[in-house]
Amino acid sequence: DGGITQSPKYLFRKEGQNVTLSCEQNLNHDAMYWYRQDPGQGLRLIYYSQIVNDFQKGDIAEGYSVSREKKESFPLTVTSAQKNPTAFYLCASSIRDSDNQPQHFGDGTRLSIL
Amino acid sequence: DAKTTQPPSMDCAEGRAANLPCNHSTISGNEYVYWYRQIHSQGPQYIIHGLKNNETNEMASLIITEDRKSSTLILPHATLRDTAVYYCIVRAFMDTGRRALTFGSGTRLQVQP
């Protein structure tokens, strides 16, 4: 089945540690996105990529990094510089980065600080 | 993106149609209306979107009023698995530069057996 796979579902990070969240899609979509969702709040855009080998900062990129070396993969690294990393992280993709193309989401990774 | 207003909660009997309203009176001519839903601890699920015309897909129908100031999402035969929070979003990031999907409070739909 085509879709977006995020792993792991739950992740724990120690203080000062970098962690990488995986996002893979087999939908042949050009655009991919990373969002953060905090309890009772909406989505905030961290990074997005319109095409392979290119990515742009979203609204809250500080403390995060990404890469887009393959069309199907868009991993997110939460660095130790991110002071409040506990959140629900969502990856999404769309055929292309456009108003008229829906974004399809994975089931998320819940990151917690030990 | 234009602001949307939705009722906080609705109930629907299983097998009946669920009609979820959304008010977006400040929508501009190039903003699309999107509907997503989210079940607790899962990622949002895309349902349907439209600009001016009514739309239908395998999940739902979207009815947009002629003045585009409101819309209704219709789930024709609700099942227990349709219990979720439903979000109506209006979006035109190409003009505003705001790519993030702006989820409001949504409508919590409870399908009753």
Q: What is the DSSP letter of B51?
A: S
> 3-class SS at B64?
strand
CA B88 to chain centre: 4
Under the banding of pLDDT at 50, 70 and 90, the label for residue B96 is low
d(CA B39, CA B5): 20
Question: Is the pLDDT assigned to residue B105 strictly greater than 90?
Answer: no
Q: Which residues of B touch A4 (CB under 8 A)?
A: 43
> 3-class SS at B113?
coil
Q: Using CB atoms, which residue from A4, A58, A99 is nearest to B91?
A: A99
Segments of chain A scoring below 50 in pLDDT: none
The alpha helices in A12-84, defined as continuous H runs, are: none
Which residue, among B69, B74, B68, B98, has the nearest Cα to B86 in the 3D structure?
B74
> 3-class SS at B94?
helix
User: Is A90 at the interface with chain B, CB within 8 A?
Assistant: yes
A84 Cβ contact list (under 8 Å, min separation 6): none
Best B6, B39, B95, B99 member to test A by mutation, with max A CBs in 10 Å, is B99
* Number of residues that make up chain A: 114
**HSE, side-chain direction, 13 A CA sphere, residue B17:** 10
Q: Residues B29, B51: contact at Cβ < 8 Å?
A: no
Give the chain A residue whose CA is nearest to the CA of B90: A99
Give the tens place of pLDDT for each residue, B2-15. Answer: 689 999 999 999 99
What per-residue confidence (pLDDT) applies to B93?
67
Chain B contacts in chain A segment 27-46 (CB below 8 A): 33, 35, 42-45
Q: Is the bond preceding residue A8 a cis peptide, omega within 30 degrees?
A: yes
Q: For strand B84-91 and strand B70-75, is the pairing parallel, antiparallel, or unpaired?
A: unpaired
Instruction: Find the chain B residues whose C-beta atoms sit closer than 8 A to any C-beta of A.
Output: 30-32, 34, 41-46, 49, 51, 91-94, 99-104
d(CA A103, CA B90): 13
How crowded is residue A93: how many other Cβ atoms within 10 Å of its Cβ?
27
Under the banding of pLDDT at 50, 70 and 90, the label for residue B1 is low
Q: Using CB atoms, which residue from A58, A104, A110 is nearest to B99?
A: A58
User: Is A112 at the interface with chain B, CB within 8 A?
Assistant: no
- Provide the shortest C-alpha distance from residue B96 to chain A (in Å): 11
Give the tens place of pLDDT for each residue, B33-90. Answer: 999 999 988 899 999 999 998 999 999 999 999 999 999 999 999 999 999 999 999 8
Which segments within B1-113 are labelled E, that is strand? 9-13, 18-23, 32-38, 45-50, 55-56, 61-64, 70-75, 84-91, 107-112
CA–CA distance from A19 to each of A16, A78, A96, B90, B105 (Å)? Answer: 10, 5, 28, 34, 31
**Token couple for B40:** 């607790």
